[in-house]
Every structure is written in C-alpha cells, then in structure tokens.
Amino acid sequence: MIVQAVSETMFIKEFDIVGREDNFSFEARRELFEYFNSLSDDTGQPFELDALAICCDFSEDTVDDIIENYSLHDIVQDIEDDEDTIKRIVEALNEQTIAWHTCGDKILYQNF
C-alpha cells in the first residue's frame, strides 16, 4: 500500500471534496490537520486521510450548543466573561475527551 503525504491544503480541501464543507470552520480544519500530523509524528504511523471518519469522530460547536447538549450550565453559571466561559468549557471537555478553542465562540472536540 502506498501512503501519500497529506499537506495542510490537501487536508482542508478534502472536506469540500466529500461534501462536508460545513462540518468544520477553516480554523478547525487547520487544528485537526495539526493534531493528526502531530499524532502521526508521535506514533511513527502515517496518517491516512478520511474526512468522513473525521466528521464522525469530531465536532465543532458553539459554546452555547455545547453547554446545552452536555448540560454544562452549572460550570459556567457564575462566569460573566466570554473568554473565561470558553476556557471553562474546554477544560470540562478535556476531562472527557480532547478539545480546542478554534475561533469566536466555537470549540472543536472529539466526540464522546
């Protein structure tokens, strides 16, 4: 089997090619590329790009949607600053999975 190296540009465009352009923002796609590239370097195993599988394994949602979907109202109820809210949500998600703040009020995380 021949495994082709995947560039960041190829990775980002693959979501458009498979019709999943709305699943992740540009920033989230860049974060995912960095994550899989780093994982490949750490394990010594080449990364095989499967955008559909990534869409099943990861999500990018707004802070409000995550709070609602994962019932995280209690951990943010006393926070008034948006940056602190985002930080707290990312910390809560990282207790269960992996998560990143991508841009604005969006958070990228591995589904759990």
Q: Name the region of 97 (left: φ>0; alpha: ψ -120 to 50; beta: rest).
A: beta
> CA–CA distance from 26 to each of 32, 41, 48, 71, 77 (Å)?
10, 23, 20, 27, 30
* The pair of three-digit structure tokens given for residue 59, joined into one six-digit string: 């999500």
> pLDDT, tens digit, for every residue of 46-104?
888 999 999 999 999 999 999 999 999 999 888 888 899 999 999 999 999 999 999 99
Q: What is the pLDDT of residues 15-41, one digit of tens each?
A: 999 999 999 999 999 999 999 999 999
- pTM comes to 0.89
Q: Are 54 and 63 in contact (CB under 8 A)?
A: no
Boundaries of every domain in the chain: 8-110
Cβ atoms of 49 and 11 within 8 Å: the answer is yes
